[in-house]
A and B are shown apart, each in its own frame.
Chain A
């Protein structure tokens, strides 16, 4: 266990984030003159800096003490999470200034959440992964209940926190069993252990696998482990909802994909069906219940559950193709979702309302926001010109390639269902009569953020090749090992 690579500089982005977090807190403490939204811009700069720094390791492939792997996969997600943090912070600035206390801590927690997410994507080992996961979760627990005096925020936080603890206990128990049967916590080693004959310790192995699926399923909100999602989303302060929707899912799937690709791929044929069924159940429930929602946050929560179902399709059809398709869809989805949430945030900043009826006539009062929201929603529904269509198409095709045509069918059917409730929002905005005719004031910063995201939606929708190239290079590395073991996908 000697000659470990302890080159700390590999962790520069994380150090930057942590340091920046501390700085923000201190700024908040000692520089009273600094406006709370300006504080946000400082924090955003931190996220951006970390993102840029992490670009250093493009096409690098090394590891830190066998725990943290710095390769394209990591870099991809470092950049991804960094940008998520960046946009989330920018989107929150005005909201935090007007509605929340403790701005410094708020931003610091977002930055720390990004650190946790990076850890989840980077770690090649269960302990590190678990700890990072807890770092992310803790930050989110706090952020969700950040509106101290808002009962709903409080309740959401409580449910999220307690269930989170419960599920991480389950996850740990599973990890324990896996450790028990394989004697290792490194993904690669576990994978190697499982390639052989496992019949002697199947019992513990599959119980452990089931528990791990449950634990990760909770983090990414798969049915039936999803129930915290709507409440947490609805309770949380809006920007936090956006953050949770984006980063916890993204990080969850980063880990999910890496773990299953590197460690559990040999057992693919055993667990594929379970994931497939989970995926189906998730997308069905998420989309059908979403029809019934009248609160836009809750609706987006359920729609995100539905999206998790689609993403799980990628896990079920696990193969290098499906992996890259999954990440591609993940990126597209997160961009779109952020765009949608930014619209909701802007509207909330104006009116403090979040019921769908209250969006009536938005097209009159703020055409740009209405248009962007429509774009985002149609993209979520998987309509062409927008990100959703291309990414979904490729993801589901990947599933079909793996003999999961039925699952792809369910997925398509459900994204058709989703179109219905997205259209109801569009109807409100374009057909509803606004209570007053006046235009809303223009928040340039948010509009800038929104424009960028919408541009991203169109870019992914109209020319995904570059992004797809990057993604594929990113995901290639996590399959390299198992390809050596010759256990990729089906024969």
Chain B
């Protein structure tokens, strides 16, 4: 079974090559190739999730190690290896990626302008994402991290949309440039921290398990944990380094927003957990109050800003900031409940925000506006679409029975258990505010008397519906039966260093 992780990375990359061979005029062929590849990825990720065996504590599953660079310069045995494996944290993330890319391909179906190049970049991005989640080597984790960021630029700048909000304008070039530069700026910090880590560890290898064994001075940990925290945090939308995210969403094409908010932002949180906390538990302990504060601030701030938005994508973008704030709270709680909750939230938010963007895209394609006040009573024309929206919204406001609740309750409980009463309380308040803006949006855009201006509106296309249904299935599944997720995650989390 080891091959499966390698295949997860190789398949998208290979597909990009296949795309290059297809003459660009066969756009339909391109689409079906993409669909086939995405389906394959989805199935493989599902396989990874299901076939995850439970013996062996924190042990890595599907462990595969390919030499890349070793016995050279400062690199010793296994200096840098393509070390692929999943643990209980990575497994749900892999699944998430599989889900979102499949849905994303469905949503991208109606892209006509140079769709071949579009899919090439999209799949390169996905390869990077898979790579980050399954890498057990610090070098490759970072390698794939950048791979995942870079294609964003063209994806947004070429296929995105500029929008004019009257008082201000956000061009797609701006959004794309800011997004990429901001994220790479974050990786600068990571870069530095990695150098320091390797030197301090003195193991002559970037292999994460080995680095995990190494001992790091306490001051060293305290010094360099913030590098990881902020460096990865930027990608995770950590307040106040989040502004790339809403603008990026507004500029990005639908599927890219889905991947970006659904998966890419998770890379950041994942990095903090896997690298930051995994290597520097004491540093994490030391900085957790800060992380908690930032997380709570982000959660509230994002929710309140979302409350102030008229543009659907801005609203969802800020809600992402808010929800990633919850993830940060979970991580900062530094106990198994909270951290498990954080990972759950990563999955839950990934699925539901992807669903939200899919819906925004569906209505934007037809109306070419995202101003919620311009709509009204769309439920009459698009009942299913409305239902999807409602489910996504309810999940994000933490309605029991949907994914969001499971994740958030863990986070809140964890936060309280860690003794951050104020933080927990504010977090729960933020969840209530979430309810406010979600329901306001639904009430103004989808309910109430129908706005005749949209008389020509049609229900979502079948492909879009199937994408939504796919996502909803997992929202409900996790909401109803979270055990499979919790078991996998908590098993690993409990074995993390410094998680009490």
Contact = CB atoms under 8 A, between A and B. Distances in A.
B157 A412 contact: no
A378 B153 CA distance: 12
A180 interface: no
A394 B80 CA distance: 11
B196 interface: yes
B73 A408 contact: no
Contacts of A393: 139, 191
A324 B73 contact: yes
A398 interface: yes
A159 B187 CA distance: 40
A464 B154 contact: no
Given A393-B139, A416-B184, A465 B199 contact: no
A398 B144 contact: no
A430 interface: yes
Nearest to A364: B114
B68 interface: yes
Interface stretch (B173-181, B345-353, B403-411, B479-487): B173-181
B146 A405 contact: no
Q: How large is the interface on A (under 10, 10 to 19, 20 to 34, 35 or more residues)?
A: 35 or more
B192 A384 contact: no
Contacts of A325: 73
A325 B159 CA distance: 39
A400 interface: yes
A412 B173 CA distance: 24
Contacts of B150: 378, 383-384
Contact of B195 (A321, A390, A396, A463): A396
A454 to B, nearest CB: 13
A427 B199 contact: no
Given A396-B191, A400-B195, A465-B72, A389 B146 contact: yes
Nearest to B20: A371
Interface in A359-384: 378, 383-384
B188 A423 contact: no
Given A389-B146, A420-B181, A468-B72, A405 B199 contact: yes
A405 B72 contact: no
Nearest to B69: A465
Contact of A384 (B67, B69, B70, B144): B144
Contacts of B192: 405, 408-409, 412
A384 B147 contact: yes
B73 A398 contact: yes
B477 interface: no
A399 B67 CA distance: 24
Contacts of A430: 154, 157-158
A401 interface: yes
Interface string A455-491: 0000000011100110010000000000000000000
B73 A416 contact: no
B421 interface: no
Given A420-B181, A465-B68, A465-B72, A389 B143 contact: yes
A54 B187 CA distance: 42
A401 B146 contact: no
B185 interface: yes
A427 B139 CA distance: 29
Contacts, number: 88
A324 B68 contact: no
B74 A401 contact: yes
A127 interface: no
A431 B139 contact: no
B123 to A, nearest CB: 13
B158 A419 contact: no
Interface string B188-203: 1001100110110000
Nearest to A385: B147
A321 B157 contact: no
B485 to A, nearest CB: 31
B199 A412 contact: no
A431 B262 CA distance: 26
Interface in B68-108: 68-70, 72-74
A413 interface: yes
B195 A423 contact: no
Interface string A426-453: 1100110000000000000000000000
Nearest to A395: B73
B173 A427 contact: yes
Contacts of B185: 416
A51 interface: no
A419 B184 CA distance: 9
Nearest to A392: B191
A451 to B, nearest CB: 13
A408 B191 CA distance: 9
Contacts of A72: none
A321 B73 contact: yes
Contacts of B68: 463, 465
B158 A431 contact: yes
A391 to B, nearest CB: 11
Contacts of A215: none
B307 to A, nearest CB: 34
Nearest to B120: A371
Nearest to B143: A384
Nearest to B227: A409
A472 B73 contact: yes
Contacts of A383: 146, 150
A397 B144 CA distance: 18
Nearest to A469: B72
A320 interface: yes
Interface string B138-160: 01000110110010011001100
Contacts of A468: 69, 72-73
Given A400-B195, A431-B158, A468-B72, A423 B153 contact: yes
A472 B72 contact: yes
B73 A464 contact: no
Contacts of B199: 397, 400-401, 405
B153 to A, nearest CB: 6
A395 to B, nearest CB: 10
B234 to A, nearest CB: 12
A431 B74 contact: no
Nearest to B187: A416
Nearest to B177: A423
B21 to A, nearest CB: 14
B180 A405 contact: no
Nearest to B200: A400
Given A423-B180, A468-B69, 15 more contacts: A321-B74, A325-B73, A384-B146, A384-B147, A390-B69, A394-B73, A398-B74, A405-B192, A412-B188, A412-B192, A416-B181, A420-B177, A430-B154, A431-B173, A465-B72
Query: Which 6 A-B residue pairings sit nearest by Cβ, starting from the closest?
Result: A400-B195, A321-B73, A412-B191, A384-B143, A384-B146, A409-B192
5 contacts: A321-B73, A325-B73, A384-B144, A397-B199, A412-B192
Interface of A: 320-321, 324-325, 378, 383-385, 389-390, 393-394, 396-401, 405, 408-409, 412-413, 416, 419-420, 423, 426-427, 430-431, 463-465, 468-469, 472
